Structures are given as structure tokens and as C-alpha cells.
Structure 1
Amino acid sequence: MLGMSVVIFATLTAFNTKEHKRKLQGDRVSGPVFSDFVYKGEDAVYKENPLKPGQFYSPILQGCYPDPSITRKGNDYYLVNSSFSMFPGVPIFHSVDLVNWTQLGHVLDRESQLKVQSAGISAGIYAPDIVYNRHNDTFYMITTQIASGIGNMVVKTKDPKAGNWSDPVKLDFDGIDPALFFDDDGKAYVVHNDAPDKGKQRYEGHRVIKLWAYDTEKDQVIPGSDRILVDGGVHPAENPIWIEGPHIYKKDDKYYLMCAEGGTGSDHSEVIFSSDHVAGPYTPAPKNPILSQRHLDKSRPNPVEWAGHADLVEGPDGSWFGVFLGVRPNEVKRVNTGRETFILPVDWSGEWPVFEGGMKALKPSVRMPAGVNNKTHARGYFPNGNFTFTDPLTATALDHRWVALRGTREKFLQATDKGMVFRPYAVDISEQKPISALFYRQQHKNFESSVSLDYVPASDSHLAGITCLQSEKYHYVLGVTKLDNEDHIVLARSENGSTRILAKEKINLNAKVQLQVKAAGDAYQFAYAVGKGAFRNIGNTVSGDILSTDVAGGFTGALIGLYSTTTNRVR
């Protein structure tokens, strides 16, 4: 994916500074050295709503972890999310109780699986579905890769804990959001979102849900087996938009088709249909939607919006649970943390599954399955609520929460006992190419994050620092570079592809530089310190508007990045 030469800095003498002769690899420096990363999230909602016995926080995955899909084999649960042009792709989590999760890694961790080299940040991998087929003891992950002409695809493994997912098999059908269903008799089916038949589109956003028979030997849909299950949505006469994210379940010899409807925004919802046959006809439930927040007062405290795109699983105590996406807007109603993974108990004691409280204002905590202990703040488990994440950036194996864009991390990183050495690409952060940057998701409305940087730029085309990024066109960069042949620290804002410097100061690079960003809702403040000195704000408080999907568009949340380049456009 990266397919380009990396730029290696010359010897230390090229830096023209005696104080900065720090040796990293013999007599050569490979680039900026980042170390001691800290992220601390402090949202009021968790302080004001401490957990009581038998409760755990939802969202279970904070930050940009959208479009959750979940499956079960025995006592093991596996969950995956969309990853767009992040590399590696499709984060995969494991739990034995639906409360305490560990990240196993990523499903798509090789360039042969993920070809997003030139994809925009909101292209790439959409809506993965993970499912276990007991008939051949195999796990499948089926998804849409909006890049490189791939489209719908499937990969497989016998053991998600071991990884080793296969290379993709391109599937011969159009549309997005495919999901697999394996019936009791071993027959397999694919269900997905598609456009209406040619000439039958009635309005903008008109979509259908289509079903195909699936050949598990050839890993391909069976030609001519397709049929439309839902045309438009629950109430076709009302012109419902974007029926998508379908899943089929079988319970008590009846088939249930659950879908998102209304688009993944303020009108998002989850609806359900049933049939006596897998191929339909499907009848909507008398009370739809079964999950939504779109009808609630927007001024309510701690709102969760955009709820939908759900998947169901039977819990360890025999009860049912549903995972779904939602967002938590900040005080000015902007969405910076992106679409997150929430969970709710589901009552399926009657004919239809009912998300408990799914049509009321969602609360920050939900009840745990019977007999489960909350370990989310114990070592090794994925945290939620308020927490601090620290990484000295000296380990060869990166924490799974670190991702790159459009290419592998290993091509531009080298771990040392002094920190992570970056080999900068001749690519600016605004380009749709692999960039030498390492990203951590913003997971709170209120956070502070800092990192140490050991670096002297060689010229004004060289820069290293931190970024708060929503996309290649919308981001902030706080970096060390040269201006008029003197070392400077600069703060720049890029909005819709146009970049301007907000602040710049001369800096004495006789020691490591500490870089910091703090956010209090929509207000972001950047700062720096030299050596062990105190942090000094640079520039005024800036708006997080360009880090929100409301302004920048797209499907991702804000990312905090460690970034380097030899083609700096911040001049």
C-alpha cells in the first residue's frame, strides 16, 4: 500500500546543532523520535453517574468504533467495527461476558487484504459483519471495501484469537453492508443493501434489501438466486430512506430481518420484519422502529443521538443483547468522538425483540448479565468511562489502538529504547496517500493528550508534531519546522483543504519538546514545553468545528496523531 521510498535523515551533523547529538542507531538518525504518549479523558457524565453494582457503561467502545457486528461460539463473543481507510482494518474484540472486552487485533492486517492507498478517510471498509458457521466451524467476516475496485468481499478463519484471516474473495454483487446467515440445514445466504432494479428508483435514498443463496464451497453467491426482501423500508408509501445494515436471525422456527433505516444521522433507527421462510415475504413488526433516539427532546441532558445499525446476540445468561452505534454530541451539538459502540439488553420473551429503553433517552449505564464482574479498568481489558492511556512508545509491538492511514505502520516506524522513530514520507497530511502518522482515537468530549518529541528539522519542508484530524481536508497541526532558516513551532488549521497558520513562535531545540492538546467540548487548546519547563499555550483557544462530522462530513471521528513529513505545506 505504501509503495514509496521512505526518507531517512542524514547524520547528526546535518542538524547543525551541537546540543542535539543524540545517537539512535549508530551514527544515523532515522527521523523524529516520539515517546511518552498520554491520553486522559474526563467527561462529566461519568463523574455524575458512578456505576452501581450490576451496571456497566455504554458505550462499551468509545471513539470511532462504528457499525458493530457481533457473533458467538460457545462462551466466546467476537465483535468487529468499520475502519474506513485506517490501517490495519476492522478492529476485532473478544469477550466471554459482553461486559469486559479485549482487543485481539485487526481482521485486515496485510496489504493483500486492505488496498486503501489512495482512499479518502471515509472510504475503505464499510460495515463489516462477523458470523460463526457451526456447520464448518469457520468464522466469516464479510464487508464492503470502497477502494481499488474491490467492493463486497469475504475473509475467513478457524480461530479469531489466532488471527490469520484469509485473503479476500471478491463477491459478485453490488450494494453495501452484506451479512451472512447460516440456516439450521447448513444452507447459507447473503443479505445486503442495494439500489432498486434499474428504472424503479422512486426517490433519493430509495434502497432495497436483497437476498442471495451462498455457496460455502466456492465462497460466492449463486447466480440468479437474488430476490428483494424489502423495497424502501417499513412504510414504502412514506418514502423511507437508506434501509441498510441488514441481519437475519432465526428463533422459534421463524426468520427475523433487522435493518437500519433513516440514514446514519439524526433520523437513524432500527426496524425489524419477520417471515416463515428465509426468502420471505417479510412483514414489519407492528411497532417500528424498535430502537431510535430521533424523536426525543434535543435539549435533554447527556444526549445520545443517531442510534441504529444494530446486531443481536444471546448473552451468557440466556438473555439477549444488542450492540449498535450512536453518537454523543458536545455542548454545541457537534460530533467529534464519532460513532461509537453501545449496548443494551434486549427482551425477546415475546414474538419481537425489544431493546430495553431503546426508544427512551439512553442512559450512560446498563445492567450487566447475571453473574458478571466488571473488569473494564483492569489491566488488559479495553477501558470505558473516564480513564488514562499511557504508552512510552518503546515496545516493538504497538498497542492495537494505534492505527495508520492507508498503509502499514511498520514501514515508517522503528521502536527503540528512546521512543518510536519515525521515517518521514515525502507526503503531506492533506494528501490521499499513506502518511507517516500514528493515530489514537479521541474517546471523550473533554480530554488532554501529550507526547514528547526529540527532533530538529533539517529545512522548512520538514515537520514533526501532533495533529487533531477529522480528514485529509480538515485538521489541526502543531509541529516543529523551520521558518526563514530558524526553528519554529507552528499551529495550523486546515479547513476544506485550505491551510493557514494560526500561531508561530521561535523555539530553542536544545532538549525534547513536549506537545499537548486539551479539549473542553468544542474548545481546543494547543501548548508546548521545552525540556522540563511548564507548558506554554500557543495561539488562542480554537474551535473543534472542523473535527466534527457536522462540518467535515464523512463517517469517522476525530483522531489524535503523531505526524512527520518531508513535504511540509505549513509555510
Structure 2
Amino acid sequence: MKKNQVALITVFMALFVFTGCNAQKNVPVYSSVVYQGNDKVYNENPLKADEFYNPILQGTYPDPAITRKGDDYYLVASSFAMFPGVPIFHSKDLVNWTQIGHVLDRKTQLKVHDTGISAGIYAPDIRYNPHNETFYMITTQFAGGIGNMVVKTKDPMKGWSDPIKLDFQGIDPAIFFDDDGKAYVVHNDAPNEGEELYQGHRVIKIWEYDVEKDQVVPGTDKIIVNGGVDLSEKPIWIEAPHIYKKDGLYYLMCAEGGTGGWHSEVIFVSENPMGPYQPAPSNPILSQRYLFKDRENKVDWAGHADLVVGPDDKYYGVFLGVRPNEEGRVNTGRETFILPVDWSGKFPVFENGLIPMEPKLKMPEGVENRTGEGGYFPNGNFTYTEDFSSEKLDYRWIGLRGPREDFMEFTKNGLKITPFEVNIKEVKPTSTLFHRQQHKDFSFTTTIDYQPGSEEDLAGITALQNERFNYVFGITKKDEKYYLVLERTEEGDSKILASKEIELKDDLQLRVTAEGDDYKFSYALNEGDFQNLGGTVSGDILSTNVAGGFTGNMIGLYATSANDAVPGK
């Protein structure tokens, strides 16, 4: 080979190595995350040996449903456009919970790629049918043209079937298996056409369900509740129905009043699963709506409940509630709570469910509190540290509208996120790995190795309530210089709050902290001290009160090659 050919090959190899290294630097690697919660309520209410904290699932785990097979309990919650969808938890005692995965974990089951974060999966119900030894998860998917659907499995630990589309309208379907093997589906629906009486007027319908065909039986639909407990009072949003059988009677339990401040749980009874159903004389059986506004350790919006027999043969109810911050704003989302239920009389009543809720509960007899240990989900104040050294990502990490595996890769240096050409404000799958905000007072710190190639490149963190309300805090490039930028987006309108030129010589640490409604974004270079950028900013846009929708604040490891958070804009 001639000398000039060797020289040419050497130049090409050098260029390849140089551009390859640059390309890799343009892909962020996150080597650690530390989430730390420090809420006052837990510091002031330490647990005794026979106690556990309520809520049992902190952060946006709303609309819980629960079932039991033998000594095993399985609980699911709404997930909207989060991917994978429908987190599923397992317990032996209703106190210690392990997340075993997600019910909807692949694209054939979950088609939320082009929908807003508060669309997608609503109000899943989970039931075990002893007649065919099969678990059912039935829900509404507001995406992909699916609507109401059901998936099945013999073992929740081993995955679920593809969806079976169900032939009825409405939302919040639940399935009931009677002692004789017959099955029924109940759900929320609109009144018959022309019979709408007021805004928020809804009905509960029931259908017979063909277990062999996995479909409602045509022509069997019947309205069993019109409006709610008392139609003359114009009740709104009767929804989330569940049927239970006890002592030969059928009980229909529903949420009423909408999922906000007037939320409640009500109960009806019938001698036949198809009705007619009569309301209990003392509804609601669960609500916080009548209580004084400024109560200590406030829990609000309680409702959307489900019942199960506990390990002590007593009834318990899981339900959603919120813990507003000092401004009354809901940033942690609707969380999963539990209360014992007194069903010694004809109708069930949530124990202490109509008075201000306490942050602690007595455990069922014989149970040991092991939350946060050995794979059990943490509870109260805790620190969660992730170094991405495992080849299996913890289930608490989720994507938005698409699989995490489409953009993430484990490396020896940490988790690499390959940026999509998608901005966090677009209604598309994003290259973002999310962790729920689980405390009013928290810190979230990550270490990142990254060098953006242009102003279209950005990587860092985001605090996101939805695509129109969020903060972005990350590194980008402008005029061959590196900048940290903090951007606030409210109602889709973005504004750069602060930016600063930095020298990238080593890993960079990024941090978001909150004390109630006050949020701060900070950074540290070369393992130095943290410096604030942008001062104290309001968490208002991260609250359900301001942003609307059904989710809580999500903190994400975010990378994009379609950045519009440019210094000086």
C-alpha cells in the first residue's frame, strides 16, 4: 500500500473516531438519581410497631381497584398516557406492597402515542374469576380507537393478553362474577338521548357478560342508577361502579360528585344483580367534602373506591384521595389510600371515612410493617437511590406515550437516553424517563454526562404536569458555548426564566427541590456546591388545580433533538 493511501486511511479513521465520540457525547448518560422525600406530616407522626402510613401508594396512583385470590392481593391504578400502563401491585397483607410490573406493557395493548397525558387509560378494574381461574382487567382506553376493553391472564406475574374490544359506550367498566358462574359488566354512561337533565347527569348501566365470547350480551343493557342517590338533588358524575355480593344481596358501590372537592362514595342494594337498586339511607359512606377547609394534614377528594376482605377477615376499602399543599394545590396527584370498612350492619361504612383522615392506621392483626424493605414499595419519608447498574429498570420509572426501551440503553457508565426529535410539549412519544413526585417537600438530583451539539439539542430534567404546563431545566448550546436554561411553559406559552453559560469539563449535577408550592432548580459543576438558577419558582403549573387533567407532577430525565428552550429567546 502506498504512503499516501495509508495517510488517507489514517485521516478517515481519525475523523470517524472524532465524530463518533462527539455523537456519543451528544447522547446524555445519566449515572445516578437520588429522590428524597421529607414531608412534615411523617416527621411529626412517627410510626408505632403496629402502624402504617396512609396513603399506601404516594404520588399519582389514582382510581385503585383490588382483587384477591387466596392469600394474594392484586391492586391496579389508572395510568392515562403513561407507558407502560396500569401499574400492578401485589401484597399478602394490604400493608406491604410490591410492584410486579404493568398490565399493559407493549404497543399491541396500549395505543397512546398521539394523545394528551390525561387521555389513555381510565379507571381499571381487576377481578379474579374462580370459575375459570382467570384474572380480568377491564378498563377504558381513550386512544387508538379502542374504547372499553378487557385483558386476561391466569397469572398476573406472567403478563396479560392483548385487548379484547368491548361493544358498549361509556367509561369506568367493572366486571362481576356471581356464585353461579354468570358474569356482568357495569359502567358509567350518558343518559338516554333526549333525557339529559343537567350538566354532569350520568347513569350506571349493567350488561350480562358472555365469559366464553368475552363480550357483553347484546340487548341485555339496563340503567340501574339514574343520576345518583337522589335525582332531585341533581347529583353529578355517578361513576366507578362495583358490584359485591354479601349475605345473598347484591351491593352496587359508586363514586358520586366528580373527582374533585365534592367527591364521595355511595352504596345501593338489590336482591338481583340486574336491579332494581335502592340507595342506602345514610349515603355517602366515604367523603371529606363536608369538613372544615383548614384542617391539619388535610386529605381531600376521597372517593372512587373498591372493597376486599382482608387477611383478618374484615373488609377494607382502597380509594383515591389528595394531599394539597399550603396553597391548596395538588402536585402529588391523586393517590391510593386504604381504610378499614365496617360491614357489621346491612350496609358497609368506611371507618373514620367521614371525619378528617389520620396519616396513620393500625395494621391488620399479625402483620409486620416492612414497607421500603426487600423490594416492598416505600412509604412515608424515604430516599430512593438509582445508579442504573441493574439491567432491569425499576418499575417506578415510566415513559410517556411510548416504550422506554425505544430510547434508553444500559451502559457501563449509566443509563443512555437517545434523544428523539420530539419536544416535551408535543403530543408524541418523548425520550423522557419519569418518576412521580411523591411528597410535598422533596429533592430530585441526577448526575449527567452530556455535551450538546447545537441549540436543537438539550438534555436535563423536566417537571411536567402535562404537555402544556411544565418546567424544563437542561443543557443546550448556542454560538459554540454551553448554557443551562430554565424554561416555564404555561398554557402552551413558553418563557425562558433564566440561563447561564457554563464550562462542561466533567459530569454535571442537576436538582429540583420543592417545599410545598416553592420549587427551585439548581446545578453543581465538577462535584462542587449547588447553585440556584432562576430563584424560587411557583409550583402552580404543576398542580391539577391550575393545569387540569388527572395526573400529578412527573419529574423526568429528558433529552431532545428538537429543543426550543434557547438562551436569549
Q: Please, what TM-score do these two structures have when normalized by structure 1?
A: 0.95
Matches of 1:28 and 1:329, distance apart in 2: 42
CA contact 2:25–2:452 (8 Å) conserved in 1: no
Query: Where does residue 416 of structure 1 map in the other structure?
Result: 411
CA contact 2:25–2:449 (8 Å) conserved in 1: no
Matches of 1:547 and 1:50, distance apart in 2: 29
Query: Where does residue 277 of structure 1 map in the other structure?
Result: 272
Query: Where does residue 79 of structure 2 map in the other structure?
Result: 83
Of the three residues 475, 492, 499, the one matched with 2:470 is: 475
Q: How many Å apart are 1:29 and its aligned residue?
A: 5.3
Q: How many Å apart are 1:483 and its aligned residue?
A: 2.1
Give the SS at the match of 1:436. Answer: strand
Q: How many Å apart are 1:394 and its aligned residue?
A: 2.8
Of the three residues 182, 189, 192, the one matched with 1:187 is: 182
Give the SS at the match of 2:510. Answer: strand
Q: How many Å apart are 1:569 and its aligned residue?
A: 1.1
Query: Where does residue 533 of structure 1 map in the other structure?
Result: 528
- Are 1:288 and 2:283 matched, yes or no? yes
Q: How many Å apart are 1:393 and its aligned residue?
A: 1.7
- Are 1:13 and 2:18 matched, yes or no? yes
Q: How many Å apart are 1:538 and its aligned residue?
A: 0.6
Q: Supply the RMSD in Å over aligned alpha carbons.
A: 1.2
CA contact 1:246–1:258 (8 Å) conserved in 2: yes
Q: How many Å apart are 1:69 and its aligned residue?
A: 0.1
Spell out the pairing of 1:190-229 with structure 2 (5 A cutoff). 190-229=185-224
- Are 1:406 and 2:401 matched, yes or no? yes
CA displacement 1:476-532 (0-9 Å, x = unmatched): 011000123310001110001111111100111110100001100000000001111
Of the three residues 235, 242, 247, the one matched with 1:240 is: 235
CA displacement 1:132-175 (0-9 Å, x = unmatched): 0000000000000000111000000000122x200000000000
Of the three residues 103, 118, 121, the one matched with 2:117 is: 121
Query: Where does residue 69 of structure 1 map in the other structure?
Result: 65
CA contact 2:422–2:560 (8 Å) conserved in 1: yes
- Are 1:44 and 2:40 matched, yes or no? yes
Query: Where does residue 443 of structure 1 map in the other structure?
Result: 438
CA displacement 1:259-314 (0-9 Å, x = unmatched): 00000000000000000111111010010000000010010111000000000000
- Are 1:154 and 2:126 matched, yes or no? no
Q: How many Å apart are 1:11 and its aligned residue?
A: 6.4
Matches of 1:360 and 1:304, distance apart in 2: 10
Give the SS at the match of 1:551. Answer: helix
CA contact 1:14–1:458 (8 Å) conserved in 2: no
- Against the structure 1 CA distance between its residues 279 and 133, is the aligned structure 2 distance closer, same or farther, given a 3 Å change threshold? same
Q: Please, what TM-score do these two structures have when normalized by structure 2?
A: 0.96
CA contact 1:396–1:414 (8 Å) conserved in 2: no
Give the SS at the match of 2:428. Answer: coil
Moved over 6 A (4+): none
- Are 1:427 and 2:422 matched, yes or no? yes
CA contact 1:30–1:422 (8 Å) conserved in 2: no
- Against the structure 1 CA distance between its residues 12 and 375, is the aligned structure 2 distance closer, same or farther, given a 3 Å change threshold? farther
* Structure of higher CA gyration radius: 2
CA contact 1:274–1:285 (8 Å) conserved in 2: yes
Counterpart of 1:234 in structure 2: which amino acid? V
- Please list every run of 5 or more consecutive structure 1 residues that lacks an aligned counterpart in the other structure: 1-9, 16-20
CA contact 2:66–2:308 (8 Å) conserved in 1: yes
Counterpart of 1:33 in structure 2: which amino acid? V
Counterpart of 1:470 in structure 2: which amino acid? Q
Query: Where does residue 551 of structure 1 map in the other structure?
Result: 546
- Are 1:132 and 2:128 matched, yes or no? yes
Matches of 1:553 and 1:99, distance apart in 2: 31
Q: How many Å apart are 1:349 and its aligned residue?
A: 1.0
Matches of 1:154 and 1:271, distance apart in 2: 25
Matches of 2:237 and 2:24, distance apart in 1: 55
Counterpart of 1:172 in structure 2: which amino acid? D
Total equivalences in the alignment: 552
Give the SS at the match of 1:550. Answer: helix
Q: How many Å apart are 1:28 and its aligned residue?
A: 4.9
- Are 1:509 and 2:509 matched, yes or no? no
Give the SS at the match of 1:78. Answer: strand
Of the three residues 369, 392, 395, the one matched with 2:390 is: 395
